[in-house]
Structure 1
Amino acid sequence: MGLSGMTYEYTDFANSTAPADVVRRQYLASAAGDLEALRATLAPDVEWKEMAGFPLAGTYRTPDGVTSHVMEQLGKEWDGWTAHDDTYVAEGENVVVLARYTATNKATGKPIDVRVAHHFVVRGGLIVRFEQFVDTAKVRDAMT
């Protein structure tokens, strides 16, 4: 099912430049561990902000910078890190996704299941900006 409740043909979804579709492809690529497909959703000058207090807090640029400093690092510290996207609010180039992270910390064996909100800005079929909002205390608690 598509985000609007309509059924998509795979090729339509795969090539869609609609902001919510681009964001959804990013989540699917991330969940599949397909960093090449994830990078393909990001603009060359993407600005990716992980929230202050989050273990990977900071601003990352370029598709390679985002995947190497965020996704690959999460894979090193967590088993099964997944962002489960469940609610999309899209207006123009802005897409806000309500989601949750699930994973198990490799060092402590403690699981997380924490709600998050992500704000994306999509232009020309690519994500140009991302900002994360998450309960960082829950993530850090699982790490200690």
Structure 2
Amino acid sequence: MAEFTESTAPADVVRRQYLASAAGDLEALRATLAPDVEWTEMAGFPLAGTYRTPDGVTSNVMEKLGQDWDDWTAHDDTYVVHGENVVVLARYTAVNKSTAKSIDVRVAHHFVVRGGLIVRFEQFVDTALVRDALTH
């Protein structure tokens, strides 16, 4: 396990990010992000926009998801790795705190990993399914 936790291989870095997120360990999640990270949530997604810095990502994305959703989880299942590019096919599950509606939606995430850190992230998701869960 020590090899995995210290590995700078792009897929290992990305996997550590998912594990930290699932555990709610924002410090460990920030440790996977480059100081100048660019993290883009898709247009139409409730948190749409590009966030920079590890603190900017966790405060504007992960902490807000935790405020608005119960049990927000990104279930990573398939990794496609090409050099510094890692594409992950995953699924979001959660229950919106305001509407009590749940989501179970497929997503794709594109990461760029350099020097053992995530420098770029882009989300692809069916934003309509997420918005439906926000509607009373």
- After superposition, the C-alpha distances for 1:5-38 in whole angstroms (9 at most, x for unaligned) are xxxxx10000000000000000000000000000
Partner residue in 2 for 1:51: 42
| C-alpha distance in structure 2 between counterparts of 1:11 and 1:37, whole Å | 15
- After superposition, the C-alpha distances for 1:96-129 in whole angstroms (9 at most, x for unaligned) are 0000000000000000000000000000000000
1:43-122 superposed matches below 5 A: 43-122=34-113
Which ranges of 4 or more aligned residues in structure 1 deviate by more than 4 Å?
none
1:115-130 superposed matches below 5 A: 115-130=106-121
Classify the secondary structure of the residue corresponding to 2:47: coil
| C-alpha distance in structure 1 between counterparts of 2:116 and 2:4, whole Å | 12
Partner residue in 2 for 1:17: 8
Which amino acid in structure 2 is aligned with residue 100 of structure 1? R
* TM-score normalised by the chain length of structure 2: 0.99
> What number of residue pairs does the alignment pair up?
135
| C-alpha distance in structure 2 between counterparts of 1:67 and 1:27, whole Å | 13
Matched, 1:142 2:133: yes
1:31-46 superposed matches below 5 A: 31-46=22-37
* TM-score normalised by the chain length of structure 1: 0.94
Please report how far the alpha carbon of residue 85 of structure 1 lies from its aligned counterpart in structure 2 after TM superposition: 0.0
Classify the secondary structure of the residue corresponding to 2:44: coil
Which amino acid in structure 2 is aligned with residue 56 of structure 1? L
Classify the secondary structure of the residue corresponding to 2:124: strand
Task: Give the % identical residues.
Answer: 86
Q: RMSD of the alignment, in Å?
A: 0.2
Please report how far the alpha carbon of residue 130 of structure 1 lies from its aligned counterpart in structure 2 after TM superposition: 0.1
Classify the secondary structure of the residue corresponding to 2:131: helix
Gaps of at least 5 residues in structure 2 are: none
Which amino acid in structure 2 is aligned with residue 86 of structure 1? D
